[in-house]
């Protein structure tokens, strides 16, 4: 009797094509899910960074504005010049007691804040001196108000960084005037409006007369924050309350804060 030999049955071409197609469908689905999850994670991370940058910037500038016009309680004479000065679409330049405005391509407003610094109103340096917004020691040569007290002048504005190309909030302190340094990345524009006593609306810096700076009672701050490229255009409300569609692929968000001037009564023109 002959012995039968059973050969294994092979897959047909149709079965092979179906298997390959199913594999491609599964792979494509997995890749699509990965990409969508990665994009969602990137947008969520970008939103967190935007919020942190906006709130940090408002906190830093707001704290300084609250110090506007501050003098120690035992100081015999208040400051004699307006302690707050702003620029529309420009940054404050010039001498601390004779500020002017220099236009910015970023269209960011700028603001200069003056107050008397000591080891209570500012963080002391390693040598015990008062410091500006960058932590730089301010020497007594900047108009002394008694032992350990000096005039602090901090100037804030936003512009593109020459080194990174990113928008940043800058501060120029009088510890080393003319050497502005970035504080918060992502701040595309700073918008500042000012409230006069009894006014019905806040005014731009350009609408204020020189003699009105000493009469400011509150400041409206807004920062427009720009995020990282996300591959799609987005809509946002800018600092003037206008709905805008971005021309690039970045998400933007505006943050607002109103700050009262606590020491206004000490400022005289």
Assigned domain for 18 exists: no
Predicted pLDDT at 180 = 93
Q: How confident is the model at residue 185 (pLDDT cuts 50, 70, 90)?
A: very high
Predicted pLDDT at 267 = 41
Q: How many structural domains compose the chain? A: 1
Note down the domain range covering 117.
Answer: 36-266
Q: How confident is the model at residue 127 (pLDDT cuts 50, 70, 90)?
A: confident
Assigned domain for 94 exists: yes
pLDDT mean over 21-44: 73
Distance CA 181, CA 202 (A): 29
Assigned domain for 202 exists: yes
pLDDT digits (tens, 9 = 90+) for 253-266: 999 999 999 886 54
pTM confidence score: 0.81
Check pLDDT > 60 for residue 98.
yes
Mean pLDDT of the chain: 85
Predicted pLDDT at 142 = 55
pLDDT digits (tens, 9 = 90+) for 148-170: 688 899 999 999 998 888 999 99
Q: How crowded is residue 13: how many other Cβ atoms within 10 Å of its Cβ?
A: 8
Q: How crowded is residue 252: how many other Cβ atoms within 10 Å of its Cβ?
A: 21
Assigned domain for 52 exists: yes
pLDDT mean over 11-37: 75
Assigned domain for 11 exists: no
Assigned domain for 29 exists: no
């Amino acid at each position: 009797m002959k012995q039968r030999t059973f050969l294994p049955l092979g897959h047909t071409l149709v079965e092979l094509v179906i298997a390959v197609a199913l594999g491609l469908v599964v792979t494509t689905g997995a890749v699509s899910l990965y990409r969508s999850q990665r994009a969602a994670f990137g947008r969520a991370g970008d939103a967190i960074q935007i919020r942190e940058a906006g709130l940090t910037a408002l906190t830093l500038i707001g704290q300084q504005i609250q110090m506007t016009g501050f003098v120690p309680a035992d100081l015999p004479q208040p400051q004699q010049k307006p302690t707050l000065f702003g620029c529309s679409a420009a940054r404050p330049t010039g001498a601390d007691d004779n500020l002017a405005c220099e236009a910015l391509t970023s269209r960011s407003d700028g603001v200069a804040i003056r107050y008397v610094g000591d080891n209570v109103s500012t963080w002391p340096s390693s040598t015990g001196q008062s410091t500006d917004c960058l932590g730089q020691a301010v020497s007594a040569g900047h108009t002394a108000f008694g032992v350990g007290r000096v005039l602090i002048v901090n100037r804030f504005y936003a512009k593109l960084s020459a080194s990174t190309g990113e928008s940043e909030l800058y501060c120029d302190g009088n510890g080393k005037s003319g050497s502005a340094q970035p504080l918060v990345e992502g701040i595309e524009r700073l918008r500042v409006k000012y409230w006069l006593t009894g006014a019905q609306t806040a005014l731009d810096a350009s609408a204020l007369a020189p003699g009105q700076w000493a009469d400011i009672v509150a400041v409206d701050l807004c920062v427009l924050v720009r995020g990282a490229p996300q591959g799609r255009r987005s809509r946002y409300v800018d600092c003037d309350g206008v709905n805008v569609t971005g021309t690039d692929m970045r998400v933007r968000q505006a943050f607002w804060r109103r700050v009262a001037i606590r020491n206004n009564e000490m400022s005289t023109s």
